[in-house]
Structure 1
Amino acid sequence: SLMNVFSLKTIRYIIRGFLLNSIIQPAGFYIVALSSMSYSNIYVMFLTVLYGITVMCNVFLITIIFYDHRLHVPKFMAVGNLALVDLVLSTSLVPGMIKTYILLDNFVPFKLCLVQMYTYYTFLSLEPFSLCILSYDRFIAICFPLRQESINTNTRMAYLIGAIWLFSFVIILYAVTSIPTLSFCGSLEVHSYFCDYAPVLVLACGDTTPQWNYATALTMLFITVPLIFIFLTYMGILTAVFRMKNNQSRYKALATCTEHLILVAVFFIPIVIIFSFTFFGIIWNPNVGLVSLCLSSLLTPCMNPILYSLKTKEIRSRIHSLLTQRLSVHPLRNVH
């Protein structure tokens, strides 16, 4: 009857209005990206080994810097800060990937997804700014060698490190806390190797333009500002180096920058390529982008402690003294 039809339409309008004006939060998401890749298990195993090396080396580096008072100087405060950032960044990724692709449990609860997302992006944003602090330290050391200790003090370095941590923690907070304000009324499959911001945002129904604009602005900020700062500091460093009359002094000054430049290249090159391809709409295999971004997030944390341990005289000296003490306490015994 007409009355029944009218009632059904009314109920539909009420339900539709309720759905549009209410927030539908899922219990969680399913991580599915690497499951479609060939040899995904081998890739995850490789990342697991890389993660083990990263944790061991960074914990070792942080421990040496923390316990050796001779290393309590601005340069090694910056190195220790980068090691801590690398440790947390890699830990926010790999254990979840082990759970998803080795233990075959790809479901991530909603709140845990937000925690992983916030941790990853906070420490990913700390990475380029930590590299900036290292370039600032090299700039002061090479351009102002006689005033280095008065300009770059432990207190100022602590303030710089505290400032970038506060900035990253606050600026990422809005992006992640905007996710619970969205409704998810369709697929819950996240096409990434973890609870990634953009793939989760794609699943939301309704207008997500503010979130996309904010994410794009943050990405450009975290790429362009550190790169410009590092470029300017190295322009100053090169100017100071070319003014040196002694070739040995030039070589020594440039040699102290090599490990930092390697880390900058390994971290920024994949991110710049991925962002450029995405920004200009260039079509490519999305799995290549995922693998590149993942390796960028894990190679730098793995290389940092190795480079600084092998290339830095003070840390090499400390490792040598530790090994010497160890051998003197437990001397090798002759076997008869």
Structure 2
Amino acid sequence: MRGANQSSVSEFLLLGLSRQPQQPQLLFMLFLSMYLATVLGNLLILLAISMDSHLHTPMYFFLSNLSFVDICFSSTTVPKMLANHILGTETISFSGCLTQMYFVFMFVDMDNFLLTVMAYDRFVAVCHPLHYLTKMTPQLCALLVAGSWVIANLNALLHTLLMAQLSFCADNAIPHFFCDVTPLLKLSCSDTYLNEVMILTEGALIMITPFVCVLASYVHITRAVLRVPSTKGRWKAFSTCGSHLAVVSLFYGTIIAVYFNPLSSHSSEKDTAATVMYTVVTPMLNPFIYSLRNRDLNRALGKVVDRRRFSV
């Protein structure tokens, strides 16, 4: 890549854990535990949905895709950080850094799009229950997921290519635990105006448009639920959306806090704390949030656990 040829920096230093010298072992065990919980929890969701024919519905099809993306998302950042800690190194190559940034962008976008199509699925289920099966066809579900993958890859490629055009001259220490776009822009000795403009315009469009669609879906859902005469009926309708709404709030709150502010207003400590939330904590919590009060999923998970127990 041309940016790599222009740059005198061949590798970066990821300072994510080294900035906490007091308890590095505690941080290592914490991140390792969260990563293992993320992988195990989301794998159980995938197994439960694939093995239970009752869960072969649009809602669980989107949830299985979200679980797969969350496993990949966490695997993009956490294993490298843990490996650096074990090996006693902080380095990541220039090309490796850009590759990591590409996949972070892609999986963030995929989380974003999947949460949106899941909101649309809930909108159809609550507001048009009699037409749910005719509207949410397998072909439409597959098209929504495939389109999400295409747009996410194109958006990630755009920002990665723009980053590759920048030069990095002297300082190569990234005060973060992975190669995120904001700390990389701060290290560049090139003009980053175009990169910042693209993040605040095209990047904002990619993130905010789905967020608006999610809000619109829930406005219609709320109106429909409030028209239900019985309290029990209203509670049942809201309970089908509560887990999704909790994940949406956690995900979008941290994304907006990190990326959609001027570069000068960012601090490495706040950015690191916020990115830990959406790259590590949210993927870990998703299986617990979606299985909470979900009898069908809990029953399927119980079957998976029982089969494992008897096979051993």
Q: With structure 2 as the length reference, what TM-score do the two structures score? A: 0.90
The alignment of Structure 1 onto Structure 2 pairs a total of residues equal to: 307
**In the TM superposition, what is the alpha-carbon distance from 1:324 to its structure 2 partner?**
4.9
Work out whether residues 28 and 109 of structure 1, in 8 Å CA contact, stay in contact via their aligned partners in 2: yes
Match of 2:212 in 1: 228
Q: Distance in 1 between matches of 2:72 and 2:192?
A: 29
Q: Distance in 1 between matches of 2:64 and 2:79?
A: 23
1:1-336 matches, cutoff 5 A: 23-37=6-20, 39=22, 41=24, 42-275=26-259, 278-279=261-262, 282=265, 286-324=268-306
Q: Which moved more, 1:264-273 or 1:218-227?
A: 218-227
Letter in 2 for 1:154: P
- Cα deviations across residues 102-128 of structure 1 (Å, max 9, x unaligned)? 432111112111111111111012112
For structure 2, the residue ranges without an aligned partner over 5 or more in a row are none
If asked which structure has higher relative contact order (CA below 8 Å, sep 6+), I would say 2
Q: Distance in 2 between matches of 1:176 and 1:309?
A: 36
**In the TM superposition, what is the alpha-carbon distance from 1:160 to its structure 2 partner?**
0.5
Greater C-alpha radius of gyration: 1
Q: Distance in 2 between matches of 1:209 and 1:326?
A: 54
For structure 1, the residue ranges without an aligned partner over 5 or more in a row are 1-21, 331-336
Q: Which moved more, 1:37-46 or 1:165-174?
A: 37-46
Q: Which moved more, 1:136-145 or 1:213-222?
A: 213-222
Work out whether residues 126 and 168 of structure 1, in 8 Å CA contact, stay in contact via their aligned partners in 2: yes
Q: Secondary structure at the match of 1:147?
A: helix
Give me the CA root mean square deviation.
2.2
**In the TM superposition, what is the alpha-carbon distance from 1:63 to its structure 2 partner?**
1.8
Work out whether residues 25 and 180 of structure 1, in 8 Å CA contact, stay in contact via their aligned partners in 2: no
**In the TM superposition, what is the alpha-carbon distance from 1:25 to its structure 2 partner?**
4.9
Q: Distance in 2 between matches of 1:157 and 1:305?
A: 21
Structure 1 residues 321 and 37, CA, compared in 2 at 3 Å: closer, same or farther? closer
Q: Percent identity?
A: 27
Structure 1 residues 296 and 329, CA, compared in 2 at 3 Å: closer, same or farther? closer
- Cα deviations across residues 170-200 of structure 1 (Å, max 9, x unaligned)? 1110110223323222211122211122222
Q: With structure 1 as the length reference, what TM-score do the two structures score? A: 0.84
